[in-house]
Amino acid sequence: MRQLTRQQYNRIKAVLPVQRGNVQIPNLQFLNAILYVAASGCTWRQLPEKFGNWHTVYVRMRRWADNGVWPRVLEALQSELNISLDVTALSLDSTSIKVHPDGTGALKKAVPRPSEKVVEGAIQKFT
């Protein structure tokens, strides 16, 4: 599995947030953890220990996403390489889409039919 080298990391270092406080995972190791999850398709909990605590990596990734760091990294790489990309992703699975019962093959409700016995002057009943 490929990882970012120190030289590749230095190309995007300027657009990354400054590490403050008690940060135990350096940005390079953090970015390699993100790449590992993206490339392998594993869940966050399956992240190998060499990348640090999976929850720490996940929280920082979400924080960077909420603060717009990822688009800045992409823009920096596009301007440096003089390319233009439009990254759009859409992912759907059965856990996020609710289907109406009619769409699942469930039996449809019977259509009401008037009863066969018709009595003059009486209210027509449906069965």
Burial bucket for residue 9 (CB in 10 Å: 0-12, 13-18, 19+) = middle
C-alpha angle with apex 85: 58 to 10, nearest 5 degrees?
55
Can you read off the two tokens belonging to residue 101?
A: 């019962």
59-65: which pairs have CB atoms within 8 A and are 24 or more residues apart?
Answer: 60/25, 60/30, 61/30, 61/34, 64/17
Model confidence over 86-125: pLDDT tens digits? 667 766 666 666 677 666 666 666 666 665 666 666 666 6
pLDDT at 9: 87
pTM: 0.62
Beta bridge partners of 114: 126
